[in-house]
Amino acid sequence: MTLAVLLWTAITLLGLAAAGGLVMAGIRLSAGHNPPAWLAMAHGLLAAAGLTLLLFGAFTVGLPRFALWAVVLLVIASLGGLLLNLGYQEKRQLLPKPILYVHALIAVAGFVLLVIAALG
């Protein structure tokens, strides 16, 4: 597997996770209730798969600097997602909007850095 294939595969997985995240955010913000658990699980699984692939690349073949920064941001975003899931969704409490916004902002920043690294 080449570095380019690794990066674009991770981008695809994270892009699918982001699409699910947008749907979940739309449900939370417009409907006023939490998204379904299956959607949260699919979102987390896709994001975790992309992040795991990036971590594998970082420890085996090495990643460009922007991709390494993307990994750092995505790890931080994943901790926010874990907090949202285990701290609120699992307890059937309404997801707090500020944490949702910060989680999304950090994840998008990491995704953009990853795309820049893949294009550069």
Distance between CA atoms of residues 41 and 60, nearest Å: 28
Residue 1 pLDDT more than 90?
A: no
Q: Which CATH number fits domain 3-119: 2.40.50, 1.10.3470, 1.20.120, 2.60.98?
A: 1.20.120
Q: Tens of pLDDT along 97-111?
A: 999 999 999 999 999
Return the domain boundaries, the chain: 3-119
Q: Tens of pLDDT along 35-88?
A: 999 999 999 999 999 999 999 999 999 999 999 999 999 999 999 999 999 999
Contacts of 12 (CB under 8 A, 6+ apart): 50
Band of residue 16 on the pLDDT scale cut at 50, 70, 90: very high
pTM of the predicted structure, to 2 decimals: 0.95
Taking Cα atoms as reference points, which of 64, 54, 47 lies closest to residue 117? 64
Q: Given this model, what pLDDT does residue 33 score? A: 95
> What's the Cα-to-Cα distance from 12 to each of 29, 50, 81, 90, 92, rounded to whole Å?
25, 8, 19, 27, 30
Q: Given this model, what pLDDT does residue 82 score? A: 97
Q: Given this model, what pLDDT does residue 9 score? A: 98
